[in-house]
Amino acid sequence: MNVKEVLQFADELVFAQTGKHLDDIQETVIKGVWQGETYDKIAEQCNRSESHVRDIGYKLWQVFSEQLDEDINKRNFRSTFKRLHIQSSQNQKICHVNGSNHNFHFSPQILYNTNQDNQENITKSQSKSPYHDLTLAPKITHFYDRTLELQTLSHWLTTQNPRLISVLGLSGIGKTTLVKQFVDLNLPQFDVIIWKSIKLSNSLDTIITEIFTLINHEPVQTDNKLTQLFNLLRQQKCLIILDDVQELFTSGQFAGQYKTEYKDYKTFFTKMTEIEHQSSLILIGQEQCQEMLCLDEELYPVKCLELEGVDNTEILKNLKLKDEESWPTLINLYEGNPVYLKDIASLIRNIFMGKVSEFLKEDCLLLTEDIKFRLNELFDRLSLIEQQIVVELSKFNQPVSREDLRQALSLSSTDLINGLQSLSKRYLLKTIEGEKISFNLSPVFTEYVRTCCQD
């Protein structure tokens, strides 16, 4: 969709609402916002005050919102118009108009104009065809449940233009799978999609250089690489996914503390939210860091999706298990963690002939070597204070209060509270509200600590 088409479409919407065509200033505002400019800069171009331009913009977004029955603002204007354009040209060539109860057709001129001018524009926009690099992302063959989480991601990315989204949760809970499924379902929404894993290429400099070369087909200049990247994120709607973000953080310290060599990521994540552009970065990881937090999600373009286990027996469907009535108990026992369930299912197939009820008769929380390996990796990342806390918590079958923990461990208040906070940022600790606030670990992690970490 080029500027001319945007103005034509905007003019039709404004005309439908007010009976008047766009005036010069309205055109300049739409053009400027489409090109990612600030109100300040647009005001300079048309020799008006910034507040006047902002006011015009505000009224335009109101008209578009009413006409298109969607909440449209400066930040999502470009992505919404593009999406409607794609839907309109690919699917039904119609978009619904609120209020008047009939359908608004994109002008045939916009979509099918065959004059030379438009042909040139079509050729230009084709040469800038979408670029998707998902070579480092997993291929999803089976995907179950998570309808709500997919809806949440979709709602955020199509209507709110968040610049930073973190998808967080325990190892194996399904973070990577969920985001890849979302990406597969939403490819046309983005000009550029790039998937990177910190496990595979970890320096920010390398990642920026790779992203640049992939999109621009020419190397990035060595100075001010971040500035060049942000220019790109302003011009095109990009979705960048960084997986395994916990690799940026130090083991043996509280959660979310950057390793010295990765401090530049902290700046990158902060700038991602501060600088105005039309792209989004999804961070996938097992630990929360400060840049992922947001005081007020309405005000700041930062979102956080925290994944819990699945509670739908669908996930066991292709795992060749018997006794379907026992599946909910099995899912509950292994906290709905897909990776634990896959591993246990394989054991039940081999040793119990697939009979889940037979396995449950053992009446113990069995940990396979693979589950222990994953939990061992988590345990090794903990600070000494956190290790002390989890060993203490694992001695009890019920939640333990702060006071009891403090006495048992002789930790200072600060150390204990920071330790608890860090464990919750790793999704290892549950806080329980009762007469007293108390804490416990998940049953699987408790079992692991009891059997493997007593030294």
Ligand X SMILES: Nc1ncnc2c1ncn2[C@@H]1O[C@H](COP(=O)(O)OP(=O)(O)OP(=O)(O)O)[C@@H](O)[C@H]1O
What is the binding site for ligand X (CB under 6 A)?
142-146, 169, 171-177, 286, 315, 338-339
Closer CB to ligand X, residue 88 or residue 176?
176
State the minimum distance, in angstroms, from the CB of residue 142 to Mg ion.
Answer: 16
State the minimum distance, in angstroms, from the CB of residue 449 to ligand X.
Answer: 19
Closer CB to Mg ion, residue 88 or residue 176?
176
**Dihedral over Cα of 421, 422, 425, 429: its sign:** negative
CA distances from 405 to 395, 398, 432, 437 (A): 11, 13, 14, 12
Given a contact cutoff of 8 angstroms between Cβ atoms, the answer to whether 272 and 305 are in contact is no
Closer CB to Mg ion, residue 15 or residue 144?
144
State the minimum distance, in angstroms, from the CB of residue 144 to ligand X.
Answer: 4
206-214 contact pairs (CB < 8 A, 24+):
207/242, 211/240, 214/131, 214/133
- Amino acid at the residue 353: M
Given a contact cutoff of 8 angstroms between Cβ atoms, the answer to whether 193 and 279 are in contact is no
Within 10 angstroms of residue 411's Cβ, the number of other Cβ atoms is: 18
Per partner kind, with CB cut-offs from 5 to 8 A, the member of ligand X, Mg ion, none near residue 280 is none
Element housing 61 (H / E): helix 50-68
Helix axes 50-68, 24-34, angle to 10 degrees: 80
Given a contact cutoff of 8 angstroms between Cβ atoms, the answer to whether 5 and 85 are in contact is yes
Per partner kind, with CB cut-offs from 5 to 8 A, the member of Mg ion, ligand X, none near residue 171 is ligand X
Dist. CA 454–CA 452, nearest whole Å: 6
Angle at 75 between CA 262 and CA 208, to 5 degrees: 25
Per partner kind, with CB cut-offs from 5 to 8 A, the member of Mg ion, ligand X, none near residue 343 is none
Per partner kind, with CB cut-offs from 5 to 8 A, the member of ligand X, Mg ion, none near residue 36 is none
Given a contact cutoff of 8 angstroms between Cβ atoms, the answer to whether 227 and 277 are in contact is no
State the minimum distance, in angstroms, from the CB of residue 200 to Mg ion.
Answer: 12
State the minimum distance, in angstroms, from the CB of residue 247 to Mg ion.
Answer: 11
Residue 176 interacts with Mg ion (CB under 5 A)? yes
Closer CB to Mg ion, residue 161 or residue 176?
176
Per partner kind, with CB cut-offs from 5 to 8 A, the member of ligand X, Mg ion, none near residue 174 is ligand X
Closer CB to ligand X, residue 301 or residue 336?
336
Per partner kind, with CB cut-offs from 5 to 8 A, the member of Mg ion, ligand X, none near residue 5 is none
Given a contact cutoff of 8 angstroms between Cβ atoms, the answer to whether 42 and 74 are in contact is no
State the minimum distance, in angstroms, from the CB of residue 243 to Mg ion.
Answer: 6
Closer CB to ligand X, residue 36 or residue 174?
174
State the minimum distance, in angstroms, from the CB of residue 192 to ligand X.
Answer: 23
* Stretch of 55-63, 176-184, 356-364, 400-408 contacting Mg ion, by CB under 5 A: 176-184
How does DSSP assign 75-101, residue by residue?
A: TTHHHHHHHHHHHIIIIISEEE-TTT-
Closer CB to ligand X, residue 147 or residue 414?
147
Per partner kind, with CB cut-offs from 5 to 8 A, the member of Mg ion, ligand X, none near residue 339 is ligand X
2-5 contact pairs (CB < 8 A, 24+):
2/121, 2/124, 2/125, 3/31, 3/34, 3/35, 4/117, 4/121, 5/85, 5/110, 5/121
Closer CB to Mg ion, residue 22 or residue 240?
240
State the minimum distance, in angstroms, from the CB of residue 432 to Mg ion.
Answer: 28
Per partner kind, with CB cut-offs from 5 to 8 A, the member of ligand X, Mg ion, none near residue 145 is ligand X
State the minimum distance, in angstroms, from the CB of residue 248 to Mg ion.
Answer: 14
Dist. CA 15–CA 243, nearest whole Å: 46
Q: How many residues bind to Mg ion according to rule CB under 5 A?
A: 1
The contacts of residue 299 (CB under 8 Å, 6+ apart) are none
Per partner kind, with CB cut-offs from 5 to 8 A, the member of Mg ion, ligand X, none near residue 173 is ligand X
Closer CB to ligand X, residue 27 or residue 370?
370
Nearest to residue 113, comparing CAs of 2, 279, 267, 195? Answer: 2
Chain positions contacting Mg ion, by CB under 5 A: 176
